Amino acid sequence: MSTRDFTTSSRPAKPYDDYPLFAHANGQWAKKIRGKLHYFGPWGDPNGALRQFHKEESELKEGRTPKRQGETPDVLTVKQMVHLFLEARKLHVESGELEARTWREYKNYGERMIRVFGENAPVETLGPDDFRRLRKDLQKTHKSLRSLRGDIRKIKVFFNWAGPGVNGQGYFDRMPRFGDAFRPPAQSALDREREEKGVQIYTPAQIHALLNVAGRNIKAMILLGINCGYGNMDCVKLPINKLDLEGGWANFPRTKNGIRRRNPLWPETVEALKAVLKARKIPIDPKHHNRVFITKWGKAYHARNLSREVGYVLTRAKLDRTAVDFYDLRRTCASIGVQLKDDDAVRTIMGHKRAATDMLGVYNRLQVEDSRLLAVSNHIRAWFLTGLATPQTSQGTGGNVEQAAPSEPAA
């Protein structure tokens, strides 16, 4: 029977008292399940409507939409999933919850899935063979097992977000079978890879070799890497108003996690930063007016620009650019700093936090004293100065543990 308006007086009575459906005004037998009306057949066929109801009841009560014979199945394709996920994440970028750089990484993963799987591939039909092909594609470009693990985990974010479950959006009902090939590399394999790569830290002589051939901006970034444990994005986004060059402090939260970080600045770092600011170009884009590092063309740095320029510096310094990179300065800073056995001070310098299971970290609300931060920083600086033919004494802004620390962080 085609759907049309019916008067209440023309509706049929239930075939019997316990009949679970009611006659809806649109001419169908209906029932409300999970707050939504569902229709099972025309008034003229109450038994057929009842059979359809019993056939679909369990799925409807679980929140799933049954597929009826003869209907075109409403399936989610890979392209649709990628589009929906990226659109949802754009809101998080606009609110500041997600870095635009991270959104672009997700976009690259989505484009890779569309290319490997095919844009019209139904998500629910993907299986181990499909994910084996995707892993092979990832392995063409990944640099390490650790980066491969990150790739796999970030790709699974798409499926966990779009699929069933408490935290899923429910765009499909059954998660695809990823298979063995798409399991992240085991920790034992990561440990072996780490041992094979070696210590991945710089010597003082190597750092000075870099400084001797680096340009103004990269020199300051290298010093921030070993002095403060800054990574690529920390340098790229460092704001001018987070520096107190006269007092010798930086108060810039870590870009990766937003954790508060307070760093004493060595005299060498202060001098390098002052040189950068003195020669700094006016940014072309007004939104970068507060950034410390601007290229000679007036543009903001990107992480890839920094990595590329540091690669050139490594080559000029005759160092193996496949053995170390810019981020290894951060590893070196932490490795030397922990030798002073004040882990909380090192965490404050590096922008780390205690593990969630460490109740001391949960309950502690006091900040690490500046004198402890200076002690760790000066310990790293003393190690750094051994790379010079004539080591300098530890004096000047931010470089002396006896120096009076400011009572309040700089703005």
CATH code for position 332: 1.10.443.10
**pLDDT higher for 235 or 308?**
235
> Would you say residue 171 lies in a domain?
yes
Q: What percent of the chain has pLDDT over 90?
A: 51
Average pLDDT over the chain, rounded to an integer: 84
Confidence of residue 360 (pLDDT cuts 50, 70, 90): low
Domain boundary residue, one of 149, 166, 197: 197
Q: 173 to each of 49, 131, 162, 327, how far by Cα in Å? A: 25, 19, 9, 42
* Pair 188, 259 in one domain: no
**pLDDT higher for 303 or 316?**
316
Residue 228: pLDDT over 90? yes
* Pair 38, 116 in one domain: no
> Would you say residue 352 lies in a domain?
yes
* Pair 325, 214 in one domain: yes
For 159, the 3-state DSSP assignment is: helix
Q: What percent of the chain has pLDDT over 70?
A: 84
The phi and psi torsions of 11 (rounded to 5 degrees) equal -70, 140
* Pair 43, 103 in one domain: no
> Would you say residue 334 lies in a domain?
yes
The average pLDDT across 379-402 equals 61
User: What is the rounded distance in angstroms from the CA atom of residue 402 to the CA atom of residue 383?
Assistant: 18
Residue 1: pLDDT over 80? no
**pLDDT higher for 143 or 383?**
383
- The pLDDT of residue 132 is 93
Confidence of residue 355 (pLDDT cuts 50, 70, 90): low
* Pair 102, 215 in one domain: no
Residue 298 neighbours by CB distance under 10 Å: 13
Confidence of residue 394 (pLDDT cuts 50, 70, 90): very low
Confidence of residue 371 (pLDDT cuts 50, 70, 90): very high
* Pair 210, 315 in one domain: yes
User: What is the rounded distance in angstroms from the CA atom of residue 80 to the CA atom of residue 113?
Assistant: 12
* Pair 188, 216 in one domain: no
In terms of residue numbers, what domain contains 313? 204-385
- The pLDDT of residue 366 is 60
Confidence of residue 168 (pLDDT cuts 50, 70, 90): confident
Compute the radius of gyration of the chain from its Cα atoms.
30
Confidence of residue 150 (pLDDT cuts 50, 70, 90): confident
> Would you say residue 219 lies in a domain?
yes
Tally the domains of the chain. 3
> Would you say residue 1 lies in a domain?
no
Domain boundary residue, one of 180, 197, 214: 197
Residue type, 143: K
* Pair 151, 209 in one domain: no
Confidence of residue 96 (pLDDT cuts 50, 70, 90): confident
The average pLDDT across 279-299 equals 93
